[in-house]
Structure 1
Amino acid sequence: MLLHMFYFFFFIPCVLFVVLPQPLVVDGLREIRTKQPHFDESPTYLWPLPAEFTSGDEVFTVDPSLELVVDGAGGASDIVREAFERYRKIIFEHSGSDYVAGRFRFKRVLRESIISEYDVSQLKITVHSDNEELQFGVDESYTLLVSAGEVTIEANTVYGALRGIETFSQLCSFDYATKTVQIHKAPWVIHDQPRFAYRGLMLDTARHYLPVGVIKQIIDSMSYAKFNVLHWHIVDKESFPLEVPSYPNLWNGSYSKSERYTVEDAYEIVNFAKMRGINVMAEVDVPGHSESWGVGYPDLWPSPTCKEPLDVSKDFTFDVISGILTGLRQIFPFELFHLGGDEVDTKCWSQTPHVQQWLQDNNLTPTDAYGYFVVKAQEIALSENWSPVNWQEAFQAFPYNLSPQTIVHNWVGPGLCPYAVAEGYRCIFSNQKVWYLDHVNVTWDEVYTAEPLEGIYDPSQQKLVIGGEVCMWGEHVDTSDIQQTIWPRAAAAAERLWSPRESTLKANIATTTLPRLLNFRCLLNRRGVAAAPVKNLQARQAPDSAGSCYDQ
């Protein structure tokens, strides 16, 4: 009896109402004081917002022995089955294995909360195609129906099914009073698809090495926000951590022998990402940002005292690039490959006698040689059936020399994509003023209100903007703080890239969007992601006092 009374008085949860007294910075110019969001412990704050949805006013309970039923040509895919098991652990996070299996270790204590019948006992997933190829533009649409007795997800591909499972998991919440998983505002009808085909997050592992396990954690967190491309900026001036079997001395340019990625590591990252519907786009930046290459092969430097850009005058330089790309093609199946091409300072070429002679012999200026290098690197990538991606400087310097398949990656500021698509090139939006996550003074609402199609009004040109990407440059982050620097601001871009523009522009940021983002940040925390508070002046700033996860 005493034990029963102890549980009654100390384990009945309280309804939590939070106050958000801090100001919200809008457009980085003015501050407004937000109204108090209402968190009633029966939340349905979906992130990113689905394309179309309706809901009811019922509460359904979910059977801890939730059964997976598959149908269609691709329903039995391992991708679907493994996702179901991953999300089962997330949904039933407060239940031990005995509870999930339908058995109750503490039956005598919890007799009052045992439910004999649950409203939802099955998750039925129908996938129409058995094609599991994950390429650019893969169909990620899905329909999610929640009704008493069953939840159904219907998708054309396994990757649409993954997005539906994520949405289903966000509908589920644990009720501490009854110790059951519940779905509020049921029944649900959701028809969803992404706004853009390319929704990326860039990781820089050259400025600070990130262990494979950390990269996997970030990939997991990306899937929660429905990102679908990990742009892996593998090498740079400071380090070359990747194994290249055809040129084994290249990774002599790593920071240390323990800060390297083997071929097997790269395979593991790509396959891990695929199981979550995320492509990995590798980047090998040429001809600049390349000093680390010469640690293993000094002939790649113009001279021992002038170490970048790579030596444009030597066939050996392009032999190495070809060897790298040929090897990486066996690892990275995604059709896009990033060749960099940014911030190229050609002084080394002008100041090195043998390169200067080569320029004269070929009647080239240093700027001409820059264009020659980029185009030749593109030809190597094209020969490996890759579509080349280049930072915007290549387009700005020689727009008519690039391959028609080139994707221009905007980063310097706004207004570049309109020019690129007007010339018929595809474009990725990553305006550094709003979508560079290392700029920790940029607030979430500035990220959220950025628009990839700004200044583009022709529908045919709008289609050439394939999407956007937030960039996590690594000079000032490492394993210790990368997650809280990425999240939750990256989620603001994720919704901009997934959800219909009309629905998110109509929303009032302070009263509608903010509560959902606060909830998503707390969801990330519950799933083990070290996402920082939404409302702070610096991206990595911790709470300054005691309070709820929502009271930031």
Structure 2
Amino acid sequence: MGAFRIVLRFRHSDLFRIQTNSGHSGSWAGAHPEIVSCANKFWWPAGTKWEDRLASEPGTGQLNPLHPKTFGVMINVLENVASIFPENFFHSGGDEILPACWKSDSLIQSFLSTGGTLSEVLEKFINFVFPFIVALDKTAIYWEDVILDNEIKVDPSYLYPEYTIFQSWKNGTESTKKIVQAGYRVIVSSSDYYYLDCGHGGFLGNDSLYDQPPEIQKAAGGGSWCSPFKTWQTVYNYDITEGLTEEEKELVLGGEVALWSEQADGTVLDARLWPRTSAMAEALWSGNRDETGKKRYAEATDRLNEWRHRMVNRGIGAEPIQPLWCLQNPGMCNTVHAYNSGDDEENVTLSTGSVGSKGFADSS
């Protein structure tokens, strides 16, 4: 029902807990099935379009803010969690609320038939939960969908910036820009850069994509909606404040990598997290550019390589970023050529950036 999250900020880290969520709430039906819409239904019914799915992946269920018991249950949960966890932040979710799920609920159908909207249903949820979180002397965190979704969203006036933080995960810096322009603080978790579960294929048991030629599978991201795999270089090179004014940058609290557990458990946890999370830590705490403004992933390669071996020596199963031979032969695994999208080897050009300390082409 909840998950611990560590957010790497520019100077320190914070721990907070996701607990309440209008979407992704199927587990609540185990104890209170009456307050959960479309619980335990097939996620994408046969004969329906993608936009009419009940969930974005198997496992359905969204809390129904219109059921008379919903908020009584939530009060008990909120008070219980607040008494156990002293953190100043409380993540209240709000991502991927799908219209078809709520529309399948008879209570919500009645509300819509009188002229109500699904955004108003979400507003009822926010208007109850948000003041309660603030009354507990905590800052509420919501996913960006709450104010940026195309179909179901609330007016930002319902959420006071001094008590609200948003977490971005879609559209890269575009979403971050919209959030800070609205006056809110933001935690950046772009799925294009910080989703560590991406690039391992899909988990649907009978996906016909995998019966297609390799070129079609590749074009479809190999079955992973957020392909490709996010390499440590991709994580390290992401500038989370790109395109923001100096004033807007002050509202960016930091970033969070996400490792969703559809295809990850304790057996692969260390390797999926490390050392890619370490790459984000250095980029956010120390910056990913040198004093001249050049990206410094060249020298970071050496540091991260050594750090990875330290982690392994301490019993952490961090994945290797280079063969051991590279560590034994400094500079021999680098390149002095910049990336070129052409297939002709003759078209490969030397980098116009600085060359790293061991010969790796470094660009701005």
TM-score band by shorter chain is 0.5 to 0.7
1:445 alignment partner AA: Q
Counterpart pick for 1:391 among 143, 161, 168: 143
SS at match of 2:256: strand
Counterpart pick for 1:423 among 177, 182, 185: 182
Unaligned 5+ segments in structure 2 are 42-59, 200-228, 334-364
Q: 1:305 to 1:496 in 2, by over 3 A?
A: closer
SS at match of 1:421: helix
The answer to whether the aligner puts 1:526 opposite 2:296 as a matched pair is no
2:160 alignment partner AA: S
Q: 1:286 to 1:522 in 2, by over 3 A?
A: same
SS at match of 1:373: helix
> How much does 1:493 deviate?
0.6
1:429 alignment partner AA: V
1:369 alignment partner AA: V
Does the 8 Å CA contact 1:346/1:367 hold for their aligned counterparts?
A: no
Segments ≥4 residues shifted beyond 4 Å: 226-229, 303-307, 546-552
Counterpart pick for 2:119 among 343, 360, 367: 367
Structure 1 Cα separation of the partners of residues 326 and 83 of structure 2: 48
2:142 alignment partner AA: N
2:195 alignment partner AA: Y
Structure 2 Cα separation of the partners of residues 304 and 493 of structure 1: 37
Does the 8 Å CA contact 1:205/1:474 hold for their aligned counterparts?
A: no
The structure carrying a bigger helix percent of its residues is: 2
The answer to whether the aligner puts 1:401 opposite 2:140 as a matched pair is no
Does the 8 Å CA contact 1:341/1:374 hold for their aligned counterparts?
A: no
Structure 2 Cα separation of the partners of residues 463 and 527 of structure 1: 36
Does the 8 Å CA contact 1:283/1:339 hold for their aligned counterparts?
A: yes
SS at match of 1:485: helix
Name the % identity: 28
> How much does 1:356 deviate?
1.8
Q: 1:323 to 1:550 in 2, by over 3 A?
A: farther
Does the 8 Å CA contact 1:228/1:278 hold for their aligned counterparts?
A: yes
Higher relative contact order (CA 8 A, sep 6+): 1
Counterpart pick for 2:239 among 451, 463, 470: 451
> How much does 1:279 deviate?
3.8
Q: Deviations over 1:118-138 (max 9, x none)?
A: xxxxxxxxxxxxxxxxxxxxx
Q: Deviations over 1:62-91 (max 9, x none)?
A: xxxxxxxxxxxxxxxxxxxxxxxxxxxxxx
Does the 8 Å CA contact 1:302/1:309 hold for their aligned counterparts?
A: yes
Structure 1 Cα separation of the partners of residues 326 and 35 of structure 2: 55
SS at match of 2:16: strand
In structure 1, the residue matched to 2:247 is 460
Q: Deviations over 1:331-370 (max 9, x none)?
A: 2211111111000013233232232223445x42112212
Structure 2 Cα separation of the partners of residues 299 and 285 of structure 1: 16
Q: Deviations over 1:272-291 (max 9, x none)?
A: xxxxx864200024111001
> How much does 1:548 deviate?
7.7
Q: Deviations over 1:33-62 (max 9, x none)?
A: xxxxxxxxxxxxxxxxxxxxxxxxxxxxxx
Q: 1:424 to 1:228 in 2, by over 3 A?
A: closer
> How much does 1:423 deviate?
1.1
In structure 2, the residue matched to 1:474 is 261
Structure 1 Cα separation of the partners of residues 242 and 278 of structure 2: 20
Matches within 5 A, 1:316-327: 316-327=69-80
Counterpart pick for 1:377 among 107, 129, 146: 129
Q: Deviations over 1:259-283 (max 9, x none)?
A: xxxxxxxxxxxxxxxxxx8642000
RMSD over aligned Cα atoms: 2.9
SS at match of 1:432: coil
1:517 alignment partner AA: L
Q: Who wins on radius of gyration, i.e. which is larger?
A: 1
Q: 1:514 to 1:418 in 2, by over 3 A?
A: same
Q: 1:205 to 1:331 in 2, by over 3 A?
A: closer
> How much does 1:522 deviate?
0.9
In structure 2, the residue matched to 1:281 is 16
Does the 8 Å CA contact 2:288/2:296 hold for their aligned counterparts?
A: no
TM normalised by structure 1 equals 0.46
Does the 8 Å CA contact 1:427/1:465 hold for their aligned counterparts?
A: yes
Structure 1 Cα separation of the partners of residues 302 and 96 of structure 2: 40
Matches within 5 A, 1:25-40: none
> How much does 1:374 deviate?
2.8
Matches within 5 A, 1:140-155: none
Q: 1:463 to 1:503 in 2, by over 3 A?
A: same
Moved more, 290-299 or 305-314: 305-314
TM normalised by structure 2 equals 0.68
Q: 1:324 to 1:462 in 2, by over 3 A?
A: same
Structure 2 Cα separation of the partners of residues 502 and 485 of structure 1: 25
Structure 2 Cα separation of the partners of residues 549 and 522 of structure 1: 10
Structure 1 Cα separation of the partners of residues 288 and 270 of structure 2: 27
Aligned length: 274
Moved more, 383-392 or 342-351: 342-351
The answer to whether the aligner puts 1:498 opposite 2:285 as a matched pair is yes
SS at match of 2:257: strand
The answer to whether the aligner puts 1:290 opposite 2:25 as a matched pair is yes
Structure 2 Cα separation of the partners of residues 493 and 423 of structure 1: 26
In structure 2, the residue matched to 1:56 is none
Q: 1:508 to 1:366 in 2, by over 3 A?
A: closer
> How much does 1:411 deviate?
0.5
Q: 1:365 to 1:550 in 2, by over 3 A?
A: farther
Structure 1 Cα separation of the partners of residues 326 and 182 of structure 2: 51
> How much does 1:439 deviate?
1.6
Structure 2 Cα separation of the partners of residues 304 and 465 of structure 1: 36
> How much does 1:501 deviate?
5.4
Does the 8 Å CA contact 1:395/1:408 hold for their aligned counterparts?
A: no
In structure 1, the residue matched to 2:198 is 439
